[in-house]
Structure 1
Amino acid sequence: MVARRQHRLLAEPQRPAAAGRPLAARAFAGLLRIARIPVCAGGRKMKTSKKGALALGLFALAPLAHAADSPLLHEMFQDHAVLQRDRPIPVWGEAAPGAEVKVSFAGKTVKAKAGTDGRWEATLPAQKAGGPYTLTASSGAASETANDILVGDVWLCSGQSNMELQVKRGLNTWAEISNAHNDRIRMLKVGLKESMVPRAHFIDPVQWQATTPDTVGEFSATCYYFARELQKRVDVPMGLINSSWGGSRIEAWLSAQALHRLGGFDEQLELLARYADDPLAANTGWGELWTKWWRSAPGVAQGDEPWKDVASSADWTAAPRGLGNYREWTPQLADFTGMLWFRTTFRLDAKQAAQGATLALGVADEVDVTWINGRAVGSSYGGGERNYALPAGLLHEGENTLVVNVLNTWSDGGLTGDAPRALRFADGSSVPLDRGWQYRVVPKQAGTPPQAPWLSAQGKGTLFNGMVKPLGGYGMRGALWYQGESNTGDAAAYRGLLRAYRDDLRAHFGKDLPLFVVQLANFGPAPTQPTESGWAELREVQREVVAEDPRSGLAVAIDIGDRYDIHPANKQELGARLARAARKVVYGEKIAATGPVPRTAKRNGDAVEVSFADVRGKLVAYSAEGPIAFELCGDAPGSCRYAEASLRGSDTVVLRAPVVNPTRVRHAWADSPVVTLFDTDGLPAGPFEIGVE
């Protein structure tokens, strides 16, 4: 079963991708713009002549590929933007198919021609850091201008809630926000919107903003403090793009192409594509995949299919009327985290059964799979209300069954909230679903169920499609990645996923794009004996994947977490450590990027000596003669023992423990270890496992 720390973090309810507006509505919005009626255009100014307005107005009504309300410049190019320095600058947008577009910036003008789909792209000459400049695009009588453009270094900040966590939720927030006056750090926040298909434009409007007390509080603390610290050494404008979503899995941030290349996702991606056109058919297919998992899950008896076998009363208990948070029902459920089955029945007359309907299930916290009469009809993620469309023919006269499986991985859960549960029919009538509910607890050994591929932050490619793809090929200096809490249950799979994420970014933003990974911070109870840890395993994957790539860097956070809070507040120090890694990897500064890293572990008599590289000054142990959190292990699971450790010289730790022929050394191997080994720069030796030579 999912560990209690694998949970939604700042999660948003599942929301379907917004549908495009009808052509008439788009044409009308275009005519409003052309007639110079004020229409928000993301901080840009657009103008046409009267003659051009008439011509473009008639053109806007034609059923062509170019949407009538699409501005010439893509929304990334607007007032206060930052463009990447020292390399050619890609700029793009939309115009009439075949139209010529002129783009001017910093005294240079280039031309482009719109394709048959209306998209155009131009490349401006490289510029040194500076500004402000004006960016202008024109086509025929129409022109559009973005003002106050800076040229500097642009960074993509992505991940889950610890990247999303705002400045206002960190340390020393009053002073940090009050003193945030920096026009040379510009910020853009991507809205939380998933999509079933790759999108050229953001679903929610985006806006570049200068750093002020009014803007910085809602922005990513990690991202902001990174740029602020880096700017002390790299004196250029910084552009920050925050595209993150609490509780998200890494699979949601990978493109379909990357997932196909990685393998094992083809069937789910096919269902995702089907969901965009036919959600019910996709849910039926997902129900079949979910059934395969259930039948093979440990602890599930052969033939146990609760969505079908509604006559069985074994292990089912009457639920309180109104349902609600299941942790309040019984002492046995007070601390339960996992899956519960819920079921009820309802009777329909012939008229009701013949109609289509909407199942209003209320709030499900946090992942549900829902069946009507043995057929899967919906699956969503997050703490929002579930409303599933039921076509005519699914319901029948007489008794019908409703069965819901709800997975909760953190805190309160179940079918919660005050929203009424009911079947609402096409003719306006409804049948309440407020009584007769039963529940059944799923044994934890059943494990973690698969997640439907369209589940926003838990899906397959959904956040890439809605929150990364619209960035196009925007020029960037590098990317920061703080994610992994939601994937700690399968560190082995994370290795391939993290490599795929790195390669996917480079496929879209440049083959040499540097990636800086935050290693998961400490969280949870401190260990009292050696133990296995999914968090430690995932940290080791992060360390090894970064170490294999010279264009990647690691920020160790094992000493700045909070054992009581998965969202540690000290993002200032984290930003400084990310900036330090960037100074080494991107800017070539001759410093240790991350602090002490293990080099070798060798036997020497009854001891094992671990030598470290990247030590600034020398190794030091805080609050004791020697460091703690070291283990010596044999090959077998459960063979690890805490080691007595002492320092020798400037870069070596000597270990002794009652282990015959140790083959492995582990350091800080727990969810929330206590680390006391640092160097004189104050950087910790991070978690690791290495073999003994």
Structure 2
Amino acid sequence: MPTSSRLRLLLAAVLIATAVHAAVTPAPPFADGAVLQRDKPIAVWGTADPTESVTVSFHDHTVSTTAAADGRWSVTLPALPADSRNATLTIAGTNEITVADVVVGDVWLLSGQSNMEWPLKRANDADNEIAAANHPLIRHLKVQHRLAAEPRIAVDNTGWVTATAATAGEFSAIGYFFAREVQAEIGVPIGLLNISWGGSPIERWTSAEAIATQPDPSLYRTRFEAEVASYPERLAHWEHVNGAYEADRAVAEAAGEQALAAFDQTTRRPWKPGNPAHHHGRPSSMFNAMMTPFVPYGIRGMLWYQGEANANRHGEYRDLFTAMITDWRAKFGQGDLPFYWVQLTNFHQPARWEWDGREWGFLREAQTQSLALPNTAQAVIVDIGNNFDIHPRNKQDVGARLAAIALTRIHGIPRETSGPTFAGVTRDGPRLRVGFDHVAGGLVARDGAVRELEIAGADGVFHPARGDVVGSVLIVSSPQVPEPVDVRYAFTNGLEVNLFGANGLPVAPFRSDDR
């Protein structure tokens, strides 16, 4: 072999060896501007060459380890108190990584679908909110949309971004308003891990291990395969329905501005179905790609806003939601982490989308039933949605209600966290008397008789009913039901609620039957 050929081969071998050499690399959350969880041992991990020595230093603590045969390494630093001073985290192997501007405070994991992902720039009063955003101790990391069949160790993300007028518009609006309320009270840095995806069903966020605990684990896989198979037909149906929508809107537009405004207020453009193979993927695919790279990062708790995508499968939701919460807690390995969620708000789906007009009512119930898990709480927001917009812009109040829960339960700073909740019902001749918990100060019916009530007799057929407040009791009746048995309140999709507690928070939806 000529000398020049041997040299070329040798050079190629050197380049290949250099390419496969794995420099020490930290896991995704360990980047400039990171917020580390206070008062807990600090897990730091990443990858390196097999058997490579890795040393991690932060503040006055240094810990070393050796990478395993697969290149993974992990160390644990001692717990630290909150510290707003910018510090440096150093990770050294054959190379050295310097992570700058690191603070210690409280980290909250944000997850769910579009209403959690919804950015501040599209919330109510966005321009003024963004202009006022000057919070160097509130930091946000957004994970990019990714899918994976198996758990991953890394994922694309924005890195940690400090809340300023130039950056806050891209933050989760709910996360930002939550953090702003909490940080103002407790004064420590707040980190927001935004791991969310619009339109995503809960099974994509649930690990394979958790799905395996369900009554019919194969259901989710077979449903996904059916969705893939039916996609061409569903796309063709959307094209037909969307064509009808466009034609109807053109008629309204031709009739004038008022007719067009009325049409747009009451009729929503049909959603174009996404290809399930490319959009939301198979069960567990979001958990694998987007969540596992952050396990077991130290966090204070989890905030969740999801359920719209599962409304037509509400019968499965309670078990799956409970399994997901339990599994996430186990995987993060930090005990029964606080898990707070937003109950679905009011939304009147256009007729062409609805199954029976009650799917959201039953999904709300499934969410409420998951309160049986310890250290959970629910923000009820049926009074602040938009019946004709699945993305209500009032994220300020949603964030504030979640913040009130965290401040009360974790930090001992009392806030109003719940309106009245259903306690029981008794028969009083042709009327039902409904009692409540969390009803200090009594009930308040704004604008007259209580709306969104239904009662049924032994036949189980529900009819609209009248409700009157007497102190802390609700009296319900209907001339169509002379011998009432059961009552439902706010148990349909679209709602116009007017029943509140004296603390200004809405009465939570309920029903007394189990039909």
Superimposed CA distance per residue, residues 343-399 of structure 1 (whole angstroms, 9 cap, x where no aligned partner): xxxxxxxxxxxxxxxxxxxxxxxxxxxxxxxxxxxxxxxxxxxxxxxxxxxxxxxxx
Paired position in structure 1 for 2:240? 326
Kept after mapping to 1: 8 A contact 2:107/2:190: yes
Q: How many equivalent pairs are there?
A: 477
Paired position in structure 1 for 2:92? 138
Kindly report which structure 2 residues correspond to 1:495-574, keeping only aligned pairs within 5 A, or say none.
Answer: 495-509=318-332, 510-524=334-348, 533-546=358-371, 548-574=372-398
Q: Does 1:97 align with 2:50?
A: yes
Structure 1 residues 218, 636: CA separation in 2 closer, same or farther (over 3 Å shift)? farther
Kept after mapping to 1: 8 A contact 2:456/2:463: yes
Paired position in structure 2 for 1:368? none
In 2, Cα distance between equivalents of 1:582 and 1:634: 41
In 1, Cα distance between equivalents of 2:181 and 2:349: 32
- Of 306, 310, 318, which aligns to 1:487? 310
In the TM superposition, residue 271 of structure 1 has moved relative to its aligned partner by: 11
Kept after mapping to 1: 8 A contact 2:21/2:49: no
Q: Does 1:680 align with 2:505?
A: no
Structure 1 residues 210, 263: CA separation in 2 closer, same or farther (over 3 Å shift)? same
Superimposed CA distance per residue, residues 74-104 of structure 1 (whole angstroms, 9 cap, x where no aligned partner): 2211110001111111001122212222211
- Of 469, 477, 482, which aligns to 2:292? 469
Q: Does 1:622 align with 2:481?
A: no
Paired position in structure 2 for 1:170? 123
Kept after mapping to 2: 8 A contact 1:129/1:237: yes
- Of 176, 191, 214, which aligns to 1:239? 191
Structure 1 residues 189, 413: CA separation in 2 closer, same or farther (over 3 Å shift)? closer
Alignment partner of 1:666: what SS? Answer: strand
Superimposed CA distance per residue, residues 29-55 of structure 1 (whole angstroms, 9 cap, x where no aligned partner): xxxxxxxxxxxxxxxxxxxxxxxxxxx
In 2, Cα distance between equivalents of 1:657 and 1:162: 37
Letter of the aligned partner of 1:536 in structure 2? G
Structure 1 residues 93, 627: CA separation in 2 closer, same or farther (over 3 Å shift)? same
In the TM superposition, residue 143 of structure 1 has moved relative to its aligned partner by: 1.6
Kept after mapping to 1: 8 A contact 2:113/2:199: yes
In 1, Cα distance between equivalents of 2:434 and 2:273: 49
In the TM superposition, residue 632 of structure 1 has moved relative to its aligned partner by: 1.7
Superimposed CA distance per residue, residues 130-162 of structure 1 (whole angstroms, 9 cap, x where no aligned partner): 1322111112x5221111111111111111111
In the TM superposition, residue 686 of structure 1 has moved relative to its aligned partner by: 2.0
Superimposed CA distance per residue, residues 319-341 of structure 1 (whole angstroms, 9 cap, x where no aligned partner): 9xxx9943465699979xxxxxx
Alignment partner of 2:175: what SS? Answer: helix
In 2, Cα distance between equivalents of 1:489 and 1:412: 15
Letter of the aligned partner of 1:610 in structure 2? V
Kindly report which structure 2 residues correspond to 1:250-289, keeping only aligned pairs within 5 A, or say none.
Answer: 250-266=202-218, 286=225
Alignment partner of 1:481: what SS? Answer: strand
Structure richer in helix, relative to its length = 2
In 2, Cα distance between equivalents of 1:111 and 1:689: 57
Kept after mapping to 1: 8 A contact 2:427/2:485: no
Q: What are structure 2's unaligned runs of at least 5 residues?
A: 1-10, 250-267
- Of 456, 479, 489, which aligns to 1:667? 489
Q: Does 1:585 align with 2:409?
A: yes
- Of 633, 643, 652, which aligns to 2:465? 643
In 2, Cα distance between equivalents of 1:142 and 1:525: 56
- Of 179, 200, 217, which aligns to 2:153? 200
- Of 475, 481, 502, which aligns to 1:654? 475
Structure 1 residues 161, 62: CA separation in 2 closer, same or farther (over 3 Å shift)? same
Kept after mapping to 1: 8 A contact 2:242/2:270: no
In 1, Cα distance between equivalents of 2:81 and 2:15: 40
Structure 1 residues 158, 290: CA separation in 2 closer, same or farther (over 3 Å shift)? closer
Kindly report which structure 2 residues correspond to 1:254-403, keeping only aligned pairs within 5 A, or say none.
Answer: 254-266=206-218, 286=225, 325-327=239-241
Paired position in structure 1 for 2:170? 218
Letter of the aligned partner of 1:654 in structure 2? I
In the TM superposition, residue 643 of structure 1 has moved relative to its aligned partner by: 2.4
Superimposed CA distance per residue, residues 537-593 of structure 1 (whole angstroms, 9 cap, x where no aligned partner): 1011111212x1231110111111111211000000000011112223333445553
Kept after mapping to 2: 8 A contact 1:596/1:613: yes
Alignment partner of 1:646: what SS? Answer: strand
State TM-score, norm by structure 1: 0.64
Q: Does 1:61 align with 2:14?
A: no
In the TM superposition, residue 644 of structure 1 has moved relative to its aligned partner by: 2.1
Superimposed CA distance per residue, residues 450-470 of structure 1 (whole angstroms, 9 cap, x where no aligned partner): x96x45425311111111111
Paired position in structure 1 for 2:26? 73
In 2, Cα distance between equivalents of 1:196 and 1:190: 17
In 2, Cα distance between equivalents of 1:464 and 1:112: 28
Q: Which has the larger radius of gyration?
A: 1
Structure 1 residues 542, 333: CA separation in 2 closer, same or farther (over 3 Å shift)? farther
Alignment partner of 1:578: what SS? Answer: helix
Alignment partner of 1:498: what SS? Answer: helix
In 2, Cα distance between equivalents of 1:103 and 1:414: 47
Letter of the aligned partner of 2:478 in structure 1? A
Letter of the aligned partner of 1:411 in structure 2? P
In the TM superposition, residue 290 of structure 1 has moved relative to its aligned partner by: 7.8
In 1, Cα distance between equivalents of 2:58 and 2:271: 54
My pick for the range that moved more, 582-591 or 205-214, is: 582-591
Letter of the aligned partner of 2:452 in structure 1? A
In 1, Cα distance between equivalents of 2:423 and 2:299: 33
Paired position in structure 2 for 1:15? none
In 2, Cα distance between equivalents of 1:543 and 1:412: 28
Kept after mapping to 2: 8 A contact 1:592/1:615: no
Alignment partner of 1:489: what SS? Answer: helix
Structure 1 residues 601, 526: CA separation in 2 closer, same or farther (over 3 Å shift)? farther
Structure 1 residues 558, 205: CA separation in 2 closer, same or farther (over 3 Å shift)? closer
Letter of the aligned partner of 1:544 in structure 2? Q
Letter of the aligned partner of 1:601 in structure 2? V
Kept after mapping to 2: 8 A contact 1:326/1:414: no
Kept after mapping to 1: 8 A contact 2:343/2:379: yes
In the TM superposition, residue 253 of structure 1 has moved relative to its aligned partner by: 0.6
Superimposed CA distance per residue, residues 627-662 of structure 1 (whole angstroms, 9 cap, x where no aligned partner): 22222223544x11222222222x221222232443
Paired position in structure 1 for 2:435? 611
Superimposed CA distance per residue, residues 19-74 of structure 1 (whole angstroms, 9 cap, x where no aligned partner): xxxxxxxxx9xxxxxxxxxxxxxxxxxxxxxxxxxxxx9798179xxx64554322
In 2, Cα distance between equivalents of 1:258 and 1:89: 26
Structure 1 residues 616, 236: CA separation in 2 closer, same or farther (over 3 Å shift)? farther
Structure 1 residues 161, 90: CA separation in 2 closer, same or farther (over 3 Å shift)? same
Paired position in structure 1 for 2:256? none
State TM-score, norm by structure 2: 0.84
Alignment partner of 2:111: what SS? Answer: strand
Q: What are structure 1's unaligned runs of at least 5 residues?
A: 1-27, 29-56, 273-285, 295-305, 308-318, 336-408, 416-450
